[in-house]
Amino acid sequence: MAFTEDMPDPDLRLQGMAYAPGIARGVLRRGVGQPGAVAVVGEAEAEKVPISDRPAAFIVVDGVPLSHGMIGLVAHNIPVVLVSARQAAQLQPGTEVRVDGASGLVTGDPGDAASSTLPPSNPESGKPVHLADGAAVWLLASVRSARSAAEAVSRGAGGIGLVRSEFLGGGEPRPPDTTYFTAAFEALCDAAAPLRVTVRLLDLAGDKPPRWLPEARELLRPLGRQGAHLFHREPIRTVIDAQLRSLGGLCGRYDLEVLIPYLGRREELTYWTRFVRRELPPGVAVGAMVETPAALLDLANWIDTADFLEIGCNDLMQCLFGADRDEYDLRECLDPYAPVLYRLLRQAAEAAGESLDRVRLCGVLPRLAGTLPVLVGLGFQRFSIEPAWIPYLARNLRTLALHDARELADRVTGCRESAEVRALLGVPAEIP
């Protein structure tokens, strides 16, 4: 990272990528280690910050928006803005700044009029958000703990659309058993009550190796073994069995659904949905993650087998663009404004037809600047996102008319290059 040694610029105004909402004020510091400061860091530094050293905000230089590490930052409820290295050159250490993680704006005058902006009000929990013309959109929460489930309720989530169960018991020295998962799922469901809870079965990947799987680093590779592709392997199979036994015992007490991660072919979908249904009481909904172009292109055949589908946009983009989403040097390849991405999602929406209300979108994509109206215009009505973003997206949806969203989606899918899409959505080229 490069920083100027000139005097601080009182007119500092940087438009970065909004990544984790909230407003913070503090003094710019390079790196971390000073609580209350605004930390200007690279992504690797931000991922390793201990809880005791949490800054007031993160300004992450050349961060990879879809990486697992960056996604984890949102769970800390600290404002995060992503900037380019060129923008970071304007950030003088020692300058007091205001960081708005919901707009991506970093200003050098922390006392300006905009600093009085209040966060939006929370929508009503368990209910959809209504567009300006009355159309309903569900903002569901993606959570990883009982604490984040409670936050989802307070933020107005329509439901818990995704429990990332790999974070439950990942720090245990031995594979967690049925007793462990029963207690963990029970605590999470109690915190989420009265919302419906969708638990995704263990979804391991290279960024989140559990302590109980010593060979994880060698085993878990991008575009390799992950999700259901690992379910037959021990000790992972033992952990999956423990999750299903615990969920089966809790289904009578809570409104639960079960989601199977990272299926690639319909044959896998058929096998694992039958397997999971045998382990659960009758009537429990079993869904499948759609995370590869092959699965998305076959969506019309999947919707007849699974009770619901959840399109995982992060892994989908990784496969679509042929770029590891955790690889810094490939960050520009994973372009959330590429028109081909929206053409592919439109194709999926059309394939689902009248069953589109059983298809959800999850991942970073719905909360990036300008994208949600396009996704709504393509026909999607259900989104699983981090709880902190729910009030902000709800506010934006209330001013959106479905007709305008559809028209915008038509224009975006008709574009040939990302620059055209950015121009349509009003997303500056400076935003990473």
The mean pLDDT of the chain is 89
What's residue 49's pLDDT? Answer: 67
What's residue 355's pLDDT? Answer: 96
13-116 matches 129-425 in fold: no
| Closest among 336, 345, 283 to 309, alpha carbons compared | 345
Q: Say which residues have a Cβ less than 8 Å from residue 132's Cβ, sequence separation at least 6.
A: 398, 399, 400, 401
Domain 13-116: CATH class, spelled out:
alpha beta
Kindly give the parts of the chain with pLDDT less than 70: 1-10, 33, 47-53, 110-117, 206-208, 216-224, 432
Crossing angle, helix 339-352 and helix 402-413, to 10 degrees?
120
Domain locations in the chain? 13-116, 129-425
- State the amino acid at position 428 in one-letter form: P
* Secondary structure of the chain as H, E, C letters: CCCCCCCCCCCCEEECEEEECCEEEEEEEECCCCCCCEEEEEHHHHHCCCHHHCCCEEEEECCCCCCHHHHHHHCCCCCEEEECHHHHCCCCCCCEEEEECCCCEEECCCCCHHHHCCCCCCCCCCCCEECCCCCEEEEEEEECCHHHHHHHHHHCCCCEEEEEHHHCCCCCCCCCCHHHHHHHHHHHHHHHCCCCEEEECCCCCCCCCCCCCCCHHHHCCCCCCCHHHHCCCCCHHHHHHHHHHHHHHHCCCCCEEEEEEEECCHHHHHHHHHHHHHHCCCCCCEEEEECCHHHHHCHHHHCCCCCEEEEEHHHHHHHHHCCCCCCHHHHHHCCCCCHHHHHHHHHHHHHHHHHHHHEEEECCHHHCCCHHHHHHHCCCCEEEECHHHHHHHHHHHHCCCHHHHHHHHHHHHCCCCHHHHHHHHCCCCCCC
Q: Say which residues have a Cβ less than 8 Å from residue 235's Cβ, sequence separation at least 6.
A: 175, 212, 213
Tell me the whole-structure pTM to 2 decimals: 0.92
Length of the chain counted residue by residue: 432
CATH number of 129-425: 3.20.20.60
Task: Say how far residue 355 (Cα) sits from the centre of its chain.
Answer: 23
What's residue 217's pLDDT? Answer: 65
What's residue 156's pLDDT? Answer: 97
CB 409 within 8 A of CB 377: yes
What's residue 199's pLDDT? Answer: 98
What's residue 206's pLDDT? Answer: 61
| CA–CA dist 285, 158 (Å, integer) | 17
> Mind listing the pLDDT tens digit for each residue in 219-260?
666 666 778 888 998 999 999 999 999 999 999 999 999 999
What's residue 41's pLDDT? Answer: 83
| CA–CA dist 124, 138 (Å, integer) | 11
What's residue 127's pLDDT? Answer: 98
Query: What sign for the dihedral angle of Cα 203, 204, 206, 209?
Result: positive
- If 0-12 CB within 10 Å is exposed, 13-18 middle and 19+ buried, where does residue 353 land? exposed
Quote the tokens at residue 148: 């984040």
Question: Burial letters for 58-87: b for 16+ Cβ neighbours within 10 Å, e otherwise?
Answer: bbbbbbbbbbebbbebbbbbbbbbbbbeeb
| CA–CA dist 143, 152 (Å, integer) | 8
| CA–CA dist 56, 230 (Å, integer) | 39
